[in-house]
Amino acid sequence: MTEPLDVRRLQRRLAEFAAARDWEPYHTPKNLVSALSVEASELMEIFQWLTPEESARVMDDPETAHRVRDEVADVLAYLLQLCEVLGIDPLVELDAKIDRNEQRFPRPED
């Protein structure tokens, strides 16, 4: 595949996947946001009983590492589908948010 792996291409894959299965009627913004929150919690479930130190070593165990990667993918999938239906570019929004945060939390040495 020569096309670079970027957010737009993943959004197209997700849109085609949903369309081919007639899942679009389920993909209201409200439902996608719920699904995003559920997937974020499934990721958190992996960490809920770990100490901070154990949480830093979570990728050392191959099976746990796979679960983490899988849930990260699910969170991103619903975030990108939500942005698609709402017409939001998440990278532009994050770039603008970091700009605002730099105003709100000035560097200590400033």
**In terms of Cα–Cα distance, which of 87, 48, 94 is closest to 67?**
48
- Contact between 27 and 81 (Cβ < 8 Å): yes
CB of 62 to its own copies, least distance (A): 14
Q: Which of residues 9-68 bind its own copies (CB under 8 A)?
A: 10, 13-14, 17, 20-22, 26, 28-31, 33-38, 40-52, 55-56, 58-59, 68
- Calculate ∠ Cα 70-71-74, nearest 5°: 95
Exposure letters 64-77 (e unless 16+ CB within 10 A, then b): eeebbeebeebbbb
Q: Which of residues 72-91 bind its own copies (CB under 8 A)?
A: 72-77, 79-80, 82-83, 85-88, 90-91
Assigned token pair, 8: 């737009």
The site for its own copies (CB under 8 A) is made up of 5-7, 10, 13-14, 17, 20-22, 26, 28-31, 33-38, 40-52, 55-56, 58-59, 68-70, 72-77, 79-80, 82-83, 85-88, 90-98, 101-102, 105, 107-109
